[in-house]
């Protein structure tokens, strides 16, 4: 897990205390007859969260030394559910104080309570149901120079599994294996972040992955979490050993890992190239990709598919390279929540990156961004379910 500065953690706690006081006073205003019960509930909840936060993030433990990810993530779910529920209550209390001399109406307090209840229900859905509801996203993409034999060639993409975040009861990977075997793709691509930090996170999931990769030739790349950069290691050698063990695990579970290299995919008399680079991202994300090396010996006339974990790589560099026809990325998770006004998917992820999920085009270059199977930070997916993408390649008809 990533670490946070002590200043940031203390400021968060202070803000949490502030909104907790506001939420408590709001509830007292709304239900004065239950003052004693509300005080007991709020006080016990706040003490539990406050102490849990200090123990897990400040002392004696720190996030960058964590092994028990589910403990952190489910504590985060409790923390942020409580946090987001309290914000409308505290804000509505402030609005009430600002306008009470004008209206003397307490309706703002009730509005805040109603919004808080709605937020709580939505978050609970995301934790208990949303993160398990696998979605199969089927798309077709047309190309001018797709070889004839690759008409209707089907590619399944999965991404961002983050095994350390999974409880052993999680059914997402089993659902993924069933879906892939039913769809029978020509190839399977995994675009990085197999783990949060440790190669040991793969233990216990080997057979499930073999079910996933047995359906087709399976290729993978590394994501930013796969290098072990977000934890504190005793020695550099420990970090290197963990990384090498993860590379071996990739092969063991059925993936051919592409590290700044390419392979030829043949079908009938035709062939295309599949290239994969190591992680590339804007700082603070590491830049290990060597695109020139990955494209070595690929002629400009060859139809080429590239896997790169972070879609920022496509936006910054790859889309200007004409010989790369199709790019697969992940990384964003769609922030693990979104909305669909008028059926159009939206997420606040667009505030931090242009390409956060779906299909993007620039001239003849196409980008597919998968919003991932797993979770990171908080174990919820709110209207941003675990995603499996099925891409069917089509030759563009010429009139």
The Cα–Cα gap between 331 and 372 comes to 7
pLDDT per residue as tens digits for the range 36-56: 999 999 999 999 999 999 999
Q: Which of 286, 133, 294, 146 is nearest to 223 (CA)?
A: 286
The secondary element (H helix, E strand) that includes residue 189 is strand 187-190
Compute the average pLDDT of residues 194-216. 96
Name which residue leads in pLDDT, 353 or 25: 25
- Residue whose token pair is 């675990």: 386
**b/e map of 243-270 (b: 16 or more CB within 10 Å)?**
beebeebbeebbbebbbbbbeebeeeee
Distance, CA of 18 to CA of 265 (rounded, Å): 59
Q: The domain at 134-395 falls in which architecture?
A: 4-Layer Sandwich (3.60)
Helix (H) / strand (E) element for 360: namely strand 358-362
CA distance 205 to 372: 17
| For residue 219, pLDDT beyond 80 | yes
pLDDT band at residue 333 using 50, 70 and 90 as cut-offs:
very high
pLDDT classification of 1: cutoffs 50, 70, 90: low
| Residue 384, C-beta contacts closer than 8 angstroms, at least 6 positions apart | 130, 333, 334, 335, 336, 337, 338, 347, 357, 371
SS3 content of the chain, % helix, strand, coil (to 5): 50, 15, 35
Distance (Å, whole) CA 289 – CA 278: 4
Give the pLDDT band of residue 109 (cuts 50, 70, 90). confident
Q: How confident is the model at residue 193 (pLDDT cuts 50, 70, 90)?
A: very high
Distance CA 372, CA 349 (A): 14
pLDDT at 97: 84
**Tens digits of per-residue pLDDT, 121-151?**
999 999 999 999 999 999 999 999 999 999 9
Could you report the per-residue pLDDT of 52-85, keeping only the tens digit for each?
Answer: 999 999 888 888 777 888 899 999 999 999 999 9
Round to whole Å and give the CA distance between 221 and 274: 11
Q: Do 333 and 160 meet the contact criterion of CB atoms below 8 Å apart?
A: yes
Q: What's the CA gap between 141 and 270, in Å, rounded? A: 19
Whether 125 contacts 382, CB under 8 Å: yes
DSSP state of 344: -
Alpha-carbon dihedral 308, 352, 343, 337, rounded to 10 degrees: 90
Mean pLDDT score, 212-220: 96
Neighbours of 156 (CB within 10 A): 25
For residues 319-329, average pLDDT? 96
Share of the chain above pLDDT 70, in %: 96
The Cα 109–Cα 91 span in angstroms is 9
The pTM of this model reads 0.92
pLDDT bracket for residue 250 (50, 70, 90): very high
| C-alpha to C-alpha distance for 277 and 108, rounded to whole angstroms | 53
The domains of the chain are located at 6-128, 134-395
| Least confident stretch, 215-219, 325-329, 345-349 | 345-349
Query: How much is the pLDDT for 95?
Result: 86
Contacts 24+ apart (CB under 8 A), 206-211: 206/252, 206/253, 208/173, 208/174, 208/177, 209/173, 209/253, 209/254, 210/253, 210/254, 211/174, 211/177, 211/181
Under the banding of pLDDT at 50, 70 and 90, the label for residue 174 is very high
Region of poorest pLDDT, from 14-18, 95-99, 302-306: 95-99
Residues 239 and 209: beta-carbon distance below 8 Å: no
Give every strand in the sheet of 217-220, ordered side by side.
Answer: 135-143, 387-395, 154-158, 187-190, 217-220, 256-257
Per-residue model confidence (pLDDT) at position 290: 97
pLDDT attached to residue 399: 55
| Between 76 and 103, residue with greater pLDDT | 76
Q: What is the mean predicted confidence (pLDDT) over 218-244?
A: 96
Note the pLDDT tens digit of each residue in 264-290.
999 999 999 999 999 999 888 889 999
Q: What are phi and psi of 338, to 5 degrees?
A: -165, -175
CA-based end-to-end distance of the chain = 54
pLDDT for the residue numbered 107: 78
The pLDDT of residue 157 is 98
pLDDT bracket for residue 371 (50, 70, 90): very high
The tokens of 382 are what? Answer: 């709110």
Residue of higher predicted confidence among 34 and 370: 370
């Amino acid at each position: 897990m990533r670490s946070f500065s002590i200043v940031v953690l203390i400021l968060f706690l202070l803000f949490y205390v502030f909104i907790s006081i506001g939420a408590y006073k709001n509830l007292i205003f709304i239900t004065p007859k239950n003052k004693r019960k509300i005080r007991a509930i709020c006080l016990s909840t706040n003490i539990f969260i406050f102490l849990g936060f200090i123990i897990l993030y400040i002392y004696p433990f720190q996030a960058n030394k964590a092994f028990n990810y589910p403990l952190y993530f489910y504590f985060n779910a409790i923390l942020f559910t409580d946090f987001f529920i309290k914000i409308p209550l505290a804000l509505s209390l402030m609005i009430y104080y600002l306008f009470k001399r004008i209206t003397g109406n307490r309706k703002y307090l009730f509005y805040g309570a109603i919004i808080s209840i709605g937020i709580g229900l939505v978050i609970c859905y995301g934790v208990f149901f949303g993160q398990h509801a696998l979605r199969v996203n089927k798309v077709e993409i047309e190309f001018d120079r797709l070889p004839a034999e690759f008409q209707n060639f089907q590619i399944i993409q999965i991404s961002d599994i983050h095994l350390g975040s999974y409880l052993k009861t999680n059914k997402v990977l089993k659902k993924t294996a069933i879906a892939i075997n039913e769809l029978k793709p020509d190839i399977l691509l995994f675009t990085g972040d197999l783990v949060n930090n440790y190669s040991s996170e793969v233990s216990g999931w080997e057979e499930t992955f073999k079910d996933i990769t047995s359906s087709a030739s399976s290729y993978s790349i590394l994501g930013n979490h796969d290098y072990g950069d977000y934890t504190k290691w005793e020695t550099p050698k420990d970090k290197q050993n963990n990384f090498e063990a993860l590379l071996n695990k990739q092969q063991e579970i059925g993936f051919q890992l592409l590290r700044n290299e390419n392979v030829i995919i043949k079908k009938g008399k035709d062939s295309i190239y599949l290239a994969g680079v190591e992680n590339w991202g804007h700082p603070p994300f590491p830049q290990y990709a060597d695109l020139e090396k990955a494209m070595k010996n690929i002629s400009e006339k060859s139809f080429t598919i590239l896997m790169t974990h972070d879609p920022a790589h496509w936006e910054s560099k790859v889309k200007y390279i004409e010989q790369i026809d199709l790019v697969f990325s992940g990384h964003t998770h769609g922030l693990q929540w979104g909305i669909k006004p008028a059926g159009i998917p939206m997420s606040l992820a667009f505030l931090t990156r242009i390409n956060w999920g779906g299909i993007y085009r620039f001239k003849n270059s196409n980008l597919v961004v998968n919003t991932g199977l797993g979770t990171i930070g908080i174990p919820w997916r709110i209207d941003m379910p675990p995603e499996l993408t099925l891409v069917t390649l089509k030759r563009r008809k010429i009139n």
